Structure 1
Amino acid sequence: MLHVFFTPSPEGLTWGEKRTGSPESCFALVLALKCFQKMARFPSPDEIPDVVVNRVRHCLELPEDIEPDHDSSRSAKAHRKLARQRQGVKYDAGRARSIVAVAIREAAQAKNNPADLINVAIEELLRLRLELLGYTTLEDLATSIRAEVNVTIFATILQRMGEVP
């Protein structure tokens, strides 16, 4: 499956080459694009398996001593913006958090498993073409909102039961 998800198209290679000034920078941009296409977020360099890095390096026909390098944090930011534009995805963490909170709150009325709530949030962000929030952010939101919803559900049940004789 590696070749399916992490092999840049010839057009993608040309796109990367036209937007960068060095093999290292092109490597970093194309690698960021391929990871973003698969994960809907930009992983940190230490999260990217060597086998993925080597696959993209091979496709770019670069020697093994060439490493992906954005050159600067400013270039890395520009590369992320280029990849988002190419994928038609927006980065808006504040809006994404609001959307996730609403989606989780609604789903928590019927679901209690945090993983299910996180999946609902991810599906909604993907549907709206927004970059995914980090996993810990999604987990924290799911945990806290689920607790709030559960408190409300339990209070409603107690109210309906009335006083116990």
Structure 2
Amino acid sequence: MNDDLRELIEELRADLHGGGDPPVIAYIRDGAAPGSIPAETPTQVRRLLEVADGIWTPDVDLRSAGELAGIQFHLDLMPEFTGVRDDPGAWFVFGTRNQEPLLIRRDTGSVWCFPDDGVWYTTDRFFEIALDFDEFVAYYVFGAGYGEIGSDHDDWWAYLTAQGLTTTPDEDPAG
């Protein structure tokens, strides 16, 4: 995980949880306890868990170390056309987007998902959404991409916008 993303996560966690009451719009847990991350967890996901042992927003849920084993069942339910069931060891489910699995390819670190237009296990589309796990987290969980895969009308989007995180360099009037 790059230092900028680590710093952003720590700043947002402090801001969200600074009031003492659990936040309603999102939750960013403290880093995982040493030794609590399952050995089979891909390095990129492991690095995130060391900083934030679970991140929940209204539309994206990046699971904690203790929850990862419980969501790997998605690998057995993947539609045949995805090829995931042919080589499940090449994939790892690290969270969900609107109850649909988010997967990382172990060999490339790319993130894959289904379109949010129906029931994921009956769809005929499965696509790479980010070339890199950190890119996925920075853009789709904490940036302008959240409005593409989540709601651009929920409290998390409003919070990201207030933090200045929903504009891209092309849209930024100061950039």
TM-score category of the 2 structures, normalised to the smaller one: under 0.3
- Structure with bigger RCO (C-alpha 8 Å, 6+ apart): 1
User: Which structure: greater strand fraction?
Assistant: 2
TM-score, structure 1 as length reference: 0.26
